[in-house]
Chains A and B, each alone.
Chain A
Amino acid sequence: MLFGYIYEIVKDNNLAEQHLINIYNCIPDHINELADEGTNTWCQLQRLAKKYLEYSKGAIHSSQFNGADLSKYNGRNRFLGLMTHEQRHVFYNAYYCGKTIAELSKELNKSEEIIRMALKEAFIIIKKG
């Protein structure tokens, strides 16, 4: 799961593998937080990975998103193909690139409420599958 997430950001198998190894090296320092009851372990691990990539890459934000090419949204990425361009843009940039709602609002020139709703709709689409 974590490899797939990292790969989607760095788009390079070897680099993704190296990042995965480095993230695992950080886990012993955070084992208590990751095993903490009441928090979802995957979400904690993903946050750790996101922060690590922000620091090591220096620019997780630079991960390029081209929402126009719908043909690549099949198989594991089929959810993205079910979304509108706006929903896809918001979800991808928040999920993979770590952009904030304020940044996306400015980027798309839309209110933060609209961006939040687009993100919510994207989650609903994924849930329905």
Chain B
Amino acid sequence: MDIQEYIESGILETYVLGSASEAEARELLYFKKKYPQVQTALHELENDLEFIAEQMAITPPPGTWSKIEASINELTTVPEYEPLRLKEPGSKNGYDFKTANRDYIEVAESQSTHMTIHKSWKWVFAAVFVLGKIFLACAIYFYLENRQAQQQIQELKTEFRQNHPH
């Protein structure tokens, strides 16, 4: 393959914009390692993208940075989540924002597998816990009541035998 022709084909531009297919991205990454020209061209294109973004930049509204700062500070109080995987465009496993959905609690089942449950289940767990405590208290109460009744029966039987000898 003529590598210059490959560079001129527009595939590099497609790749940097994340519009390449998986197969195209795989092929490009292979050529990037093999041919320094591809690497250089790709580097130039990435710089071009940065240039485009600079030209099209808009100043954010005043106060945006303090909001970002406050939001990041809030994050320190939230438990850590598994980081999202950052991949090259066109790769099979790109960013997965579903894993960052804060409506779900990650429950570790073992070292290798995980179970995801909805946050609403915490109320079910709390109810089960409270009901468990109530049942336990009832069981102890009825056990003691039963033991006391058995003792009373035993006493009555003894008393009866003493009052009515054969």
Which residues of A pack against B, CB within 8 Å? 1-5, 7-8, 13, 17, 20-22, 24-26, 28-30, 33-34, 39-40, 42-44, 46-48, 50-52, 55-56, 76-77, 79, 94-95, 98-102, 104, 113, 115-120, 122-123, 126-127
Beyond A3-B57, A28-B72, whether A21 also contacts B21 by CB under 8 A is no
Provide the residues of chain A in CB contact with B163, threshold 8 Å.
none
Complex: A44 Cα to B8 Cα, angstroms: 23
Contact B72 A3 (CB under 8 A): no
A21 engages B50 (CB within 8 Å): no
The smallest C-beta distance from A4 to any residue of chain B, in angstroms, reads 4
Can you list 26 A-B contacts with CB-CB less than 8 angstroms, sorted by A residue number?
A3-B57, A3-B60, A4-B57, A5-B53, A8-B56, A17-B64, A20-B68, A21-B68, A25-B71, A28-B75, A30-B86, A34-B86, A42-B50, A47-B95, A48-B95, A76-B57, A79-B56, A94-B17, A94-B19, A100-B19, A101-B20, A115-B10, A116-B13, A116-B14, A123-B45, A126-B55
Q: Is B79 an interface residue (CB 8 A)?
A: no
Q: Are the CB atoms of B57 and A26 closer together than 8 Å? A: no
Chain A minimum-CB-distance residue to B59: A3
By the criterion CB–CB under 8 Å, are A25 and B72 in contact? Answer: yes
Asked whether B36 is an interface residue with its Cβ less than 8 Å from the other chain, the reply is no
B45, B47, B68: most-surrounded residue (chain A CB, <10 A): B68
Q: Which 9 A-B pairs have the closest CB atoms?
A: A116-B10, A55-B97, A40-B46, A120-B10, A51-B95, A29-B83, A4-B58, A33-B86, A3-B60
